[in-house]
Amino acid sequence: MTVHILEADNIDFRYIDGTKALKNLSMQIPWGKKIAVVGKNGAGKTTLFLHFNGVNRPEKGRILLKGRALEYGTRSLKELRKTVGIVFQDPDNQLFSASVYQDVSFGPLNLGWPEDRVRAKVAEALEKTGTWALRDKPVHFLSQGQKKRVAIAGVLAMEPEVILLDEPTSSLDPFYSGQIMALLDEFNQGGATVMISSHNIDEVFAWADYVFVMNDGQAIAQGHPQDVLSDEAALMRANLFKPWVLEMYQGMLAAGMIPPQPVVPRTREQIIGLLGQFGKEQTIIGIRVQEVNNYEF
Ligand SMILES: Nc1ncnc2c1ncn2[C@@H]1O[C@H](COP(=O)(O)OP(=O)(O)O)[C@@H](O)[C@H]1O
Ligand SMILES: [Mg+2]
């Protein structure tokens, strides 16, 4: 088994109007991880995601799935789409059935699963995305955030090995954003590779195992979130800021408030926990203890 479930190998892509959206882009997607692609508007994130699902075909270079180059025949694309599910940035491009239930059932029915399996998976996906109560609603009456959750349910119900989500939380309120990210965690723990694009750097820092920064059709940085999201030069080129949790952690370290931690805090809860543990009083006591040690021994 190759270590990369998906790979872009030196791809170029140009839209019909001549816009060169991807430029000699290479990207290797690690198997079974939670991956985030960040970058400013127009960086090429959506164009890339559509390559990984076979919607876009590179002008030059190759897309590989599990080490094998994609061919663009009907059978190859069908196989790809069974393995790689995509949730589009705009749910209006995804949903087309009369009712929510029909929409979420469409994919699993198309996979030829027995009816009881389809029913069970659809019910589970609706439950998990908080859309069960909406199941009989016409899709066009839903709010943007509800549509997004239904689109996610439709892809989850097919249980793909890889799920690509193009800005999954961009139209969701904080409650549902948190729920969706937790759901993606659960899906990943079940063995799936989950890849999102996002502008929400704090969410990415808290969630991702591996991050790519895209700019102008290329990947300009990649690696573990604490390394990549500390790279101010790369972040500036991508119009992004450091995650606030990281900024605060580094500030606390620089001020001598806390000792370096074995694991860098990534969430609000973790940094608040550190603040509680090394509040002002304890730090002063900590320094005094240190001084006493230095003087006496
Ligand atoms: N259908 C299209 N026709 C022409 N240009 C496009 C089209 N879609 C995107 N682009 C252009 O391709 C570049 C990359 O866009 P996109 O992949 O949507 O970036 P992102 O998702 O990072 O915001 C941008 O310059 C954008 O204007
Ligand atoms: Mg986009």
Each residue's pLDDT tens digit in the chain (297 positions)? Answer: 567 999 999 999 999 999 999 999 999 999 999 999 999 999 999 999 999 999 999 999 999 999 999 999 998 898 898 899 999 998 888 888 889 999 999 989 988 899 999 999 999 999 999 999 999 999 999 988 899 999 999 999 999 999 999 999 988 888 888 888 988 999 999 999 999 999 899 999 999 999 999 999 999 999 999 999 988 888 998 889 999 999 999 999 999 889 999 999 999 999 999 888 876 544 444 444 344 344 333
CB of 17 closer than 6 angstroms to any ligand 1 atom: yes
61 CA to middle of ligand 1, Å? 19
55 CA to middle of ligand 1, Å? 14
Contact 238, 213 (CB under 8 A): yes
CB of 198 closer than 6 angstroms to any ligand 1 atom: no
What are the backbone angles phi and psi of residue 201, rounded to the nearest 5°?
Answer: -65, -30
How many residues in total does the chain contain? 297
Please give the number of the atom of ligand 1 that sits closest to the Cα of 19: 5
Q: Which CATH superfamily is domain 4-241 in?
A: P-loop containing nucleotide triphosphate hydrolases (3.40.50.300)
The protein residue with its alpha carbon nearest to ligand 1, atom 4, reads: 15
Ligand closest to Cα of 213 equals 1
42 CA to middle of ligand 2, Å? 7
**pLDDT attached to residue 275:** 86
Alpha-helical (H) ranges within the chain are 45-52, 74-83, 100-110, 115-128, 144-156, 174-189, 201-207, 225-228, 232-237, 244-254, 268-277, 280-296
What are the residues whose beta carbons fall under 8 Å from the beta carbon of 224, sequence distance 6 or more?
209, 210, 211
CA distance 215 to 180: 26
**pLDDT attached to residue 296:** 36
CATH code 3.40.50.300 region(s) in the chain: 4-241
**pLDDT attached to residue 279:** 66
Contact 201, 229 (CB under 8 A): yes
CB of 216 closer than 6 angstroms to any ligand 1 atom: no
114 CA to middle of ligand 2, Å? 36
What are the backbone angles phi and psi of residue 277, rounded to the nearest 5°?
Answer: -70, -40
Instruction: Name the residue of 19, 88, 93, 166 whose CB sits within 8 Å of the most ligand 1 atoms, as the mutation to test its pocket.
Output: 19
267 CA to middle of ligand 1, Å? 32
CB of 14 closer than 6 angstroms to any ligand 1 atom: no
CA distance 197 to 203: 11
**Beta-ladder partners of 12:** 60
217 CA to middle of ligand 1, Å? 9
| Assigned token pair, 91 | 């749910």
CB of 19 closer than 6 angstroms to any ligand 1 atom: yes
DSSP symbol at 99:
B
CA distances for 122 relative to 133, 179, 240, angstroms:
13, 18, 37
